[in-house]
Structure 1
Amino acid sequence: MVSGNQTTTPGFILSGFSNLTNRQGLLFMIFLTIYVMILLGNGVIVFVTVLDSALHTPMYFFLRNLSFVEICYTSVTLPKMLANCLAEDGSISFTSCAAQMYFFLLVGGTECFLLVAMAYDHCVAICNPLHYTLTMTRKVCVRMVAGSWLVNIPVHFGQTYLVFSLPFCGSHEINHFFCEIPPLLELSCVDTYRNKIVVFIVSLPFIITPFLYIVISYIKIARTILKMPSVQGRRKALSTCSSHLTVVALFYGSGMVVYLRPKSRDSMDTDKLLSLFYTIVIPMFNPFIYSLRNEEMKAALRKLVSRK
């Protein structure tokens, strides 16, 4: 953190929603309620898909891992937001900020690849149903989930190192509610053009490529569905894919706007709201999207409740 005559900064200030000074208590209650809903909703999906043997299929194996990732995703950012609402100072140490950014990128990148794995599972189930059990074996599913985590570990460590090796000077106030790359680059007192290029390059295999693979998978699925002679078969296939498509549209839509569009200081407030959307709102609604629109999940929940 030392560059020329620049001094070492002890940390940063997360401005968050400090402009709402008279509503910090209300924000605390809102964010706490959302956090509890995320933990309970996604925790129930993990719990039910483990206990019910009828849900021991590749589809629910990926869903279980996605719910676990959502819990990790929000746990990286929300506890600090809650603490800042109470303390109202927003301070975060240099090390904590770096750790928060790293784990946020790691979990976010893992979610991108898990969504690809789920798209692949749907594609095989609908387009090649006769080969489904041979293709989507337990071993293959475990490797896909493990790969989703492992491939992200070194890449995002490098991303975090590049950002936090920059000299920061002047204001140390981050116009955000957690340590994310775009607002941190705005605080650097050197040209961050190379860092922005690196962010774009990394986004290609970790955001754009997974998204394109999902699009290609659903084009194949759509062609197969249109060829189905049975209306009931088409409805069942569409029902299988609708929840996943909804999550993909919400997650990638907001994420691409934040990381791929040109940045300016005036766009930081917009990016902050979009980040709030994909870090909090989507994880909160995922359990409802997957359980309320899924008959097998609803049946498993009813069975569990009746046992209790």
Structure 2
Amino acid sequence: MQEVEILIISNKFDFGTDYICVELEKRNANYLRINRDEFSRYEVVLDVNRIELIVIIDGKRYRVSEGQLKSVYYRAPIYLRDIYKPNITMQEQLFRTQWTAFIRNLTIFEKPKWVNHPAATFTSENKLLQLKYAKELGFLLPDTYVVNTNKLPLDGSEMYIAKSLDTAVLRVNDREAFIYSNVVSVDEINNASLALAPVVIQNYIGKDYEKVDVRITVIEDELYAVRILKDGKGIDGDWRREKDHIEYREFKLPSNIQSKCRDLLKRLGLKFGAIDLIESNGELYFLEINPTGEWAWLVEGANLPIYERICDSLEG
């Protein structure tokens, strides 16, 4: 039976986790990867009295115990965002709800380091709390309103950003539709029907000066920052629309911004976070932090060894 020192909770299609596992193999680490979408092919016994988890995969037995487990890499958001899917069978509903509860209850392992702990992830996924903490730490913020009305004190000569309060993935004509952030005018806001659901309205940073998106990946005290560019310039609107046509250039953050990023992770109880900033007219503005943010695209796109630093953290 293999004693597990590093437990990885992910899904079978997560490329970032693949990087982690390949690196742990190189280090001869005693790890176990369990995928949330493959639990039905595992045999699982969790002994609550002993705080011991036995997992059998393809006949191989693994033991996860409080005394031996050093760390858990928890690669999953907390909120379920697939409620739009139609015609989910009773068996599928049972699979999702009960295994999700099982994963939450793995927090029974309290001694190991979690990257990130589910409770910290849950708290950190609240965007308004992020903004509150970021402001208290001294970050510059765009003016931000959460509304379901267009009766706002807005400047008609300015442009604004409209975006969802939480990640919004919808079902439209049997296809998935993702809601991006959009640059809008005051007239568009005034003519919009907003009563149905809350929407985030922020003043648009970069109207009078070029704006550049900055992504910062933080693993404990280590930071990797890139500027996101197209044809050497910043991108208007949501850069994710242009993901196949952009480049990532390493960026040296000012020391005071580095300190604020580290302090924000500590304030939120995180070991890992992906922070989005906007650079404009020599200033950096905080947009959000994602406790389960994607980073695998930066390994190839910017040659950043992020997976090595995550493995360093997991190995302690």
- TM-score norm. by structure 2 comes to 0.25
Bigger RCO (CA 8 Å, 6+ sep)? 1
More helix by share: 1
More strand by share: 2
- TM-score norm. by structure 1 comes to 0.25
